[in-house]
């Protein structure tokens, strides 16, 4: 069997998605998510101009060799654009292998380690009161684990807060929206939010919180300490992780579990974090960390240090990534949790899939491959609509981490 053709589909059913479709000379089709929020066309071009010409004529069953070819062969290794493109190829090839073998992807990885996958949903509100109510709605929907983000008094456009009733969607304008960040106000507010949440709902629901790279290591240590009585499932991206050593300081001062990794692309981004057991959950995901092949390498390495997985699953990762991630989660022995932000109905219609939500868990389907397809005719009705993620500044104008 040979790869006969491959093409990239860019579509915007509510938000932008990039999808790679690979076809074999025997008519088997596999698809992979290639979405990099706000940088969609960079990945589309990398695939179309540089990767696809190298794929034609190759044996699609040689997933590992093709991965190594694209990683080593590029000479310029790593980075979000290249690794997202590799992930798309890898995901599509696993999909093809599943279809050729007539097996769901989790079977090819080693079979089920669990029947269903614990997910966390996103509750958010403009202020403390509405966030507490939003968490209640998620509990009613059956979620056992809920991420809580709230508007913060004195901070305009806080991270993680949706506008009106819509789901939170950060890529909101053609050019980056400017937001202003104030650490002191946040550190004052965040513990009060969790005081209220525990007061309202007790310790039954697992609660999570995303700091979104905003704090220094010492501020992160302070926040972790102040949240300890609330026994969070995790505190996410407490400080930027380019400097992996920074987490030593946080770790030394708090037992609040730490999660990092949604912006990581390779095992090298988290090597020290894992080896030194500086984190509890690694959040790398299929689409941005080199596909199933590389994510498996990261997860196996993490397992040696009792670090568990907690893959990124925001709406800017398409249902194709979610489908693949759920097969991965069903297999991976050191599974922790999976993020799950529901896609809109428009998105779900473009990407028919066989995974389903039940009692706070997602269950992957049994169809061969990863179980997600693309309706290309419908996708064509939603042209690309360029959108950027916001940026953040401190009140004196200094650029900060969004």
**Which residues of this protein are in contact with ligand GCO, per CB under 6 A?**
37, 170, 210, 212, 262, 312, 314, 316, 339, 389
The number of beta carbons lying within 10 Å of the beta carbon of residue 33 is: 32
**Rounded Cα–Cα distance for residues 60 and 350 (Å):** 25
For ligand GCO, which is the closer residue by CB, 160 or 360?
A: 160
Closest separation in Å from C-beta 304 to ligand GCO: 25
Q: Do residues 88 and 288 touch, judged by C-beta distance below 8 A?
A: no
The encoded tokens of residue 140 equal: 């009613």
Tokens of 351: 């990407």
Annotated active-site positions, please? 159, 212
**Binder of residue 37, out of ligand GCO, Mg ion, none (CB less than 5 to 8 A by kind):** ligand GCO
DSSP 47-68: IIIIIHHHHTTS-TT-HHHHHH
Contact 81, 43 (CB under 8 A): yes
Question: Which residue's CB is nearer to Mg ion, number 95 or number 236?
Answer: 236
Report the interface residues with Mg ion, using CB under 5 A.
210, 262
Smaller CB separation from Mg ion, 107 or 216: 216
Phi-psi region of 161 (alpha: psi -120 to 50; beta: other; left: phi over 0): beta
Distance CA 241, CA 401 (A): 11
The per-residue b/e assignment along 210-243, b for 16 or more CB within 10 angstroms, e otherwise, is bbbbbbebebbbbbbebbeebebbbbbbbbbbee
Beta carbon of residue 159, minimum distance to Mg ion (angstroms, whole number):
9
Select 170 or 319, whichever has its Cβ closest to ligand GCO.
Answer: 170
State the helix-helix crossing angle for 63-72 and 291-303, rounded to 10 degrees: 90
Of 244 and 285, which has the nearer Cβ to Mg ion? 285
Residue 353, binding choice from Mg ion, ligand GCO, none, Cβ under 5 to 8 Å by partner class: none
Give 11's strand partners: 17
């Amino acid at each position: 069997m040979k790869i006969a053709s491959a093409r990239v589909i860019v579509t915007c059913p509510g938000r932008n998605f990039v999808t790679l479709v690979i076809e074999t000379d025997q008519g088997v089709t596999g698809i992979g998510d290639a979405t990099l929020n706000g940088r969609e066309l960079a990945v589309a071009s990398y695939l179309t101009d540089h990767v696809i010409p190298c794929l034609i004529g190759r044996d699609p069953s040689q997933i590992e060799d093709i991965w190594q070819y694209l990683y080593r062969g590029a000479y310029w290794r790593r980075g979000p654009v290249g690794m997202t493109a590799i992930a798309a190829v890898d995901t599509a090839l696993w999909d093809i292998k599943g279809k050729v073998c007539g097996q769901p992807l989790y079977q090819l990885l080693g079979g089920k380690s669990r029947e269903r996958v614990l997910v966390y949903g996103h509750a958010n509100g403009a202020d403390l009161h509405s966030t507490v109510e939003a968490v209640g709605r998620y509990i009613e929907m059956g979620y056992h684990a809920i991420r809580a983000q709230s508007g913060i008094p004195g901070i305009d456009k806080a991270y993680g807060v949706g506008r009106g009733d819509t789901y939170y969607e950060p890529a909101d304008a053609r050019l980056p929206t400017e937001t202003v960040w104030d650490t002191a106000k946040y550190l004052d507010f965040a513990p009060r939010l969790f005081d209220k949440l525990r007061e309202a709902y007790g310790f039954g629901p697992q609660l999570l919180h995303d700091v979104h790279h905003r704090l220094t290591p010492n501020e992160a240590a302070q926040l972790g300490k102040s949240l300890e009585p609330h026994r969070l499932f995790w505190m996410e991206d407490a400080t930027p992780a380019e400097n992996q050593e920074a987490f030593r300081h946080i770790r030394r001062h708090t037992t609040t579990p730490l999660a990092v990794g949604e912006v990581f692309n390779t095992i090298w981004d988290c090597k020290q974090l894992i080896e030194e057991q500086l984190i509890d959950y690694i959040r790398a995901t299929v689409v941005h960390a080199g596909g199933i092949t590389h994510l498996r390498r990261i997860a196996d390495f993490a397992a040696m240090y009792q670090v568990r997985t907690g893959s990124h699953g925001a709406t800017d990762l398409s249902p194709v990534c979610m489908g693949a991630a759920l097969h991965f989660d069903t297999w991976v022995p050191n599974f922790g949790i999976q993020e799950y932000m529901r896609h809109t109905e428009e998105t779900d219609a473009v990407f028919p899939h066989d995974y389903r939500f039940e009692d706070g868990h997602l269950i992957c389907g049994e169809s061969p491959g990863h179980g997600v397809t693309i309706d290309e005719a419908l996708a064509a009705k939603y042209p690309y609509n360029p959108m950027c993620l916001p940026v953040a500044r401190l009140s004196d104008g200094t650029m900060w981490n969004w």
